[in-house]
Structure 1
Amino acid sequence: MTASDTHWIDFNRDADTGIESLRAHFRGHAYDPHFHDDYSIGYTEQGVQQFRCRRQVQRSTPGNAFLLEPGEVHDGEAPQQDGFTYRILYLPRDWVHGQLAGLFDTLPDQFEWHVDATLSTDRRLIGSIAASFLAVHQNEARIVRDACLDQMLIQATGHLHWRRRDSEARQPLLAERARSYLHAHADEDIGLSEMAQALGTDRFRLSRAFKAAYGLAPHAYLIQWRLTQARRLLALGQTPAQVAADLGFADQSHLGRWFRRAYQLTPADYRRRCTGLPD
C-alpha cells in the first residue's frame, strides 16, 4: 500500500489473468485525464467520486458501479472534503473476449463490448464486482476466482451490447489516420507540423479533428498511449529506464512524472507490485 496525506492506494496484479485490482482513497485531485487499454469496472465505496467521461461530469456515490471501455478518457477528483474510496478491476481486453467466447454460444464476428452507460445502480452487478474484487485481490483459489469473474461478466452483459470492432466506433478518417500515425511513431520525437504534412493537412485542422474524435489533443494522446505501453512493459519486468528509452520519453524522470500524474504510482513501484522484482 502507498499513502500520502491525501490518498492511499492498495494495488495487486493477478499473474494468471493480468487483471489488476485496486482499492484507493483520494481527497481533492486524484487523476489527470488519461485512459486505459483495459475494460475498467468498479464501484464507489465511500464519498463522492467525480470524473469527466464522455464529455460529461459523472458523480458516483456509494451504490454506484462504473464501467469504462478501453480508450475512454477520464480524470478523477473528490468534490467533498472527506474524499472518496473505490474499488476497481482492470480487465485486459483479450482476456475479456476470451472469457465471453466461452460463456456464450454465439457472438458477433469481430465483436467489441460497448458500455451503454458509465454509471449503474444495479445491486446484482455491484455484488458481483465486490465478490470478484475480493477473489482476485486476496488471491483466492483459482476455481473461486473463475466462478466470481464469470458471474460478474454475466451480470455486466445486461449493461452492454455488442458492436462490430471498428465499425460503429469508427471516427472521421483524418482522426483515425492521425491516431495510426501516432501509434506507428510513438517512440519518436514527433512534430505536429511534420505529422500534418505526412497526412496531407495542416496542424490546426488536424488538432481540431483529433480532439473532437478522441477527447485529447494529439500530443496529450501520445503521452497517454505511451503510458499504457509503459504499464505493459513494466508488468513484463522491464526497468523504468529501459521503458523510458524504448517509448520516447526524454529520460526516466520524464516517464516518472507523467506516470505518477496518471496513476498515482511510480513506474518502479508499479513494476515491483506486478512482478515482485526490486525497485
Structure 2
Amino acid sequence: MRHYNQKDWYELNRDPCSRIETIRAHFTGHAYDPHWHDSYLIGVTEQGVQQFKCRAKQQVCVPGTSFLLDPEEIHDGTAPSEDGFTYRMLFISPELFQQRIRQLFPKVPDNFEFRVNKTLSQDNLLSASISSAFAAIHYQEPKIIQDACLDQMMKQLTEHMFWRKTTEQHTDSVNIALLTQEILHANLNVNIGLTEIAETLKVNRFHLTRSFKAIFGLAPHAYLIQLRLVRARELLAHGENPADVANKLCFSDQSHMGRWFKRCYRFTPAEYQRRTFIL
C-alpha cells in the first residue's frame, strides 16, 4: 500500500517471518533529519539524486548506485534537485545478517562481526541482487524465492564488507562512552538525566558528553531518543497502542513521539503501525 503526501510517497512492509522491513519511497526536498537504525540498511537509488551525510562525508547517490550502512550509522537525507529521488531499501537486523553471513563463512570466530567497507557502490551485480531481494521480500514472493534472493545478495555483499574484531582494548574516554551507552540501553523506560549518569560513572558530565559524541557521533540525549524510536517501532509492529508506547518510553505524550517519528522517518507512528503490524 502506498502513502501519498503531495509529491512524496512511500511503500512500507515488514516480512512476518524474517522481520525484514522494506521501503520503497520517493522524496523531494528535505527527507530526513540525522538519525540511525539498529539494522543494516541495504538499498539502491532508482531515480534522481539522493544526497546524505554519513561517515563525516556528503554522499551523492545516483540511479543504479547501491548504498550500505552499518547499524547505528548516523545519516540524514535530502533531494538536491526539484524532481526528488526514489529508492528501495531493506532493513536487516544484525542477528539475521550475521546468521546468514555465517552460513557462507561457517569457520569465522565468534568475536568477529561484518561491517560495511564503503557507503556507496557502483557494482551492478550488487545493485541487481539488492533489487531482486527487495522485490522478493517486499512483494511477498514464496519463501524459497526469498531465501534464494537473500542468499545471492549476501554473496555479493561480502565483496563490499570486512570482518572486524568485536573485542578491543579501549582508552579511558572510549570506556566512558561505552559505559554510558550501556546505561542508556538499560534505561529506555526511565526518565534518566545526564547528571545521574555522570554521577554513576564518577566523571564530569561535560567530559562524558564529549567522550560519547566522539565515539557515537551524537550527544547522549540524542542517542537515547534514537534508541527509544527503535524500540517504539518494535512495539508498534507488535500492535501496542501508540499512546501507551509513548508513555512507556518516556516521551512527554503521543504527539511528542510523533514529531520525532516524522523528523527521522517521514511517517507517523500510526502510519508505521498500519503497515507493519504483526498478527
Sort the TM-score into its range (normalised by shorter chain): over 0.9
1:108–1:162 CA contact under 8 A, matched in 2: no
Match of 1:105 in 2: 106
Matched letter for residue 51 of structure 1? F
Match of 1:156 in 2: 157
Match of 1:268 in 2: 270
Measured at CA, do residues 165 and 236 of structure 1 come closer, stay the same or move farther in structure 2, by a change above 3 Å?
Answer: farther
Match of 2:80 in 1: 79
CA deviations on 1:46-95 (whole Å, 9 max, x unpaired) are 11111111111111111210100111111101111111111100011111
Q: Which runs of 5+ in 2 are unaligned?
A: none
Measured at CA, do residues 246 and 200 of structure 1 come closer, stay the same or move farther in structure 2, by a change above 3 Å?
Answer: same
Distance 1:260 1:172 in 2: 32
1:43-58, aligned counterparts within 5 Å? 43-58=44-59
Match of 1:63 in 2: 64
Alpha carbon RMSD of aligned pairs, Å? Answer: 1.7
Match of 1:132 in 2: 133
1:6–1:28 CA contact under 8 A, matched in 2: no
Measured at CA, do residues 168 and 37 of structure 1 come closer, stay the same or move farther in structure 2, by a change above 3 Å?
Answer: farther
Q: Which runs of 5+ in 1 are unaligned?
A: none
CA deviations on 1:111-145 (whole Å, 9 max, x unpaired) are 31111100000010000001111111111111111
1:109–1:164 CA contact under 8 A, matched in 2: no
Distance 2:180 2:224 in 1: 11
Distance 2:239 2:112 in 1: 31
Partner SS state of residue 44, structure 2: strand
2:243–2:253 CA contact under 8 A, matched in 1: yes
Q: How many residues align?
A: 277
Matched letter for residue 200 of structure 2? A
TM (normalized to structure 1)?
Answer: 0.95
> 1:37: Cα distance to partner?
0.7
1:113-262, aligned counterparts within 5 Å? 113-167=114-168, 172-262=174-264
Partner SS state of residue 178, structure 1: helix
Matched letter for residue 81 of structure 1? E
Match of 1:9 in 2: 10
Partner SS state of residue 34, structure 2: strand
Identity, in percent, stands at 51
Matched letter for residue 215 of structure 2? A
Distance 2:170 2:122 in 1: 26
